[in-house]
């Protein structure tokens, strides 16, 4: 990441690289926290290209202002959504596959796009990767996706209305579906609980299924994000048929036969290497 240097050297030929102001670095740290929820000291130091000592000083200063919470080994934002479980938990989730999938999927998004993003832990990771884009319009029914993008002023985030389903922090119901009715975007990035070559995406909940269908219906192309643990799994309600798939982003652990089958049906595959 690091998104490159903010200040381009459009002029001043031969001038040495401008030193990064402390305030600049601190803002960048906050941005990183806002995007990633919890970041280790080492990662921060690497991202801002400073020593860990310096970052530690910054964190201390930011903590004094009440802008962040420090933890052993890193920092988090204070009292943001359910990123509570923080650090230890996040690290142990072994979200390596999801992170890789999210990275790859983010490369399918271009500046200026209008996209739809569904709920799910993978799509949430994906949303965090979008922070570096500009002029993006993102429609979602997931509070966590919205939250991940709330700090990015260059991204317009639109939430569907609807009834909150607390367990997944997403909006469902007729209001949610209705609010998507008149919408048309380029791509939908959705996930689910199960994915088979025969029945496509599926979820155990009918309300969630209804919104998932509406999300896909609002997009020209459907991009499915699914790690290998979901592939071959079938749950109660089918949400999106394979015929509607345009892209599948998964990881190298996915069973080859299912991928072949999907590929044979015209789905473009993107396999992330962890």
Partner DNA sequence: GTAGATCCGATCAGATTCGTTCTATTCCGA
Partner DNA sequence: TCGGAATAGAACGAATCTGATCGGATCTAC
Q: Which does 37 bind (CB under 5 to 8 A by kind): a second copy, DNA, none?
A: a second copy
Count of residues interacting with DNA (CB under 7 A):
29
Contact call for residues 237 and 256 (beta carbons, < 8 A): no
Question: Which of the ranges 27-35, 105-113, 188-196, 220-228 carries the binding residues for a second copy, by CB under 8 A?
Answer: 27-35
Buried b (16+ CB within 10 A) or exposed e, 149-171: beebeebebebbebeebeebbbb
Q: Which is nearer to a second copy, 13 or 264 (CB)?
A: 13
Q: Is 98 in the site for a second copy (CB under 8 A)?
A: no
Residue 35 beta carbon to DNA: minimum distance, rounded to whole angstroms: 20
What is the C-alpha to C-alpha distance for residues 60 and 64, in angstroms, rounded to an integer?
A: 6
Beta bridge partners of 256: none
Q: Is 1 in the site for DNA (CB under 7 A)?
A: yes
3-state secondary structure of 26: helix
Residues 6+ apart with CB under 8 A from 215: 116, 118, 141, 180, 188, 190
Residue 274 beta carbon to DNA: minimum distance, rounded to whole angstroms: 20
Q: Is 93 in the site for a second copy (CB under 8 A)?
A: no
| Other beta carbons within 10 Å of 127 | 28
Residue 13 beta carbon to a second copy: minimum distance, rounded to whole angstroms: 10
Residue 157 beta carbon to a second copy: minimum distance, rounded to whole angstroms: 4
Residue 202 beta carbon to DNA: minimum distance, rounded to whole angstroms: 35
Contact call for residues 105 and 270 (beta carbons, < 8 A): yes
Among the listed residues 9, 51, 112, 252, the single contact to DNA using CB under 7 A: 51
Q: Which does 51 bind (CB under 5 to 8 A by kind): DNA, a second copy, none?
A: DNA
Q: Which helix (H) or strand (E) holds 213?
A: helix 206-217
């Amino acid at each position: 990441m690091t998104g490159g240097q903010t200040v381009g050297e459009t002029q001043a030929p031969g001038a040495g690289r401008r030193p990064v102001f402390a305030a600049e670095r601190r803002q960048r740290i906050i941005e990183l926290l806002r995007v990633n929820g919890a970041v280790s000291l080492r990662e921060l130091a690497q991202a801002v290209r400073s020593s860990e000592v310096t970052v530690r000083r910054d964190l201390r200063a930011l903590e004094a202002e009440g802008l962040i919470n420090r933890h052993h080994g890193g920092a988090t934002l204070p009292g943001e959504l359910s990123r509570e479980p923080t650090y230890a938990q996040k690290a142990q989730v072994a979200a390596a596959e999801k992170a890789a999938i999210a990275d790859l999927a983010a490369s399918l998004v271009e500046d200026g796009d209008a996209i739809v993003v569904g709920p799910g832990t993978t799509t949430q990771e994906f949303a965090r990767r979008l922070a570096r884009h500009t002029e993006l319009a993102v429609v979602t029914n997931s509070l966590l996706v919205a939250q991940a993008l709330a700090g990015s002023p260059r991204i317009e985030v639109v939430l569907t209305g609807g009834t909150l389903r607390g367990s997944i922090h997403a909006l469902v119901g007729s209001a949610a579906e209705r609010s998507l009715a008149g919408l048309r975007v380029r791509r939908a990035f959705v996930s689910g609980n199960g994915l088979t070559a025969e029945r496509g995406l599926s979820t155990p909940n009918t309300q969630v299924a209804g919104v998932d269908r509406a999300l896909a219906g609002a997009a020209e192309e459907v991009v499915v994000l699914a790690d290998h643990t979901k592939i071959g799994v079938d749950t109660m309600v089918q949400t999106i048929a394979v015929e509607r798939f345009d892209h599948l982003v998964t990881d190298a652990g996915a069973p080859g036969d299912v991928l072949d089958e999907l590929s044979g049906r015209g789905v473009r595959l993107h396999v992330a290497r962890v």
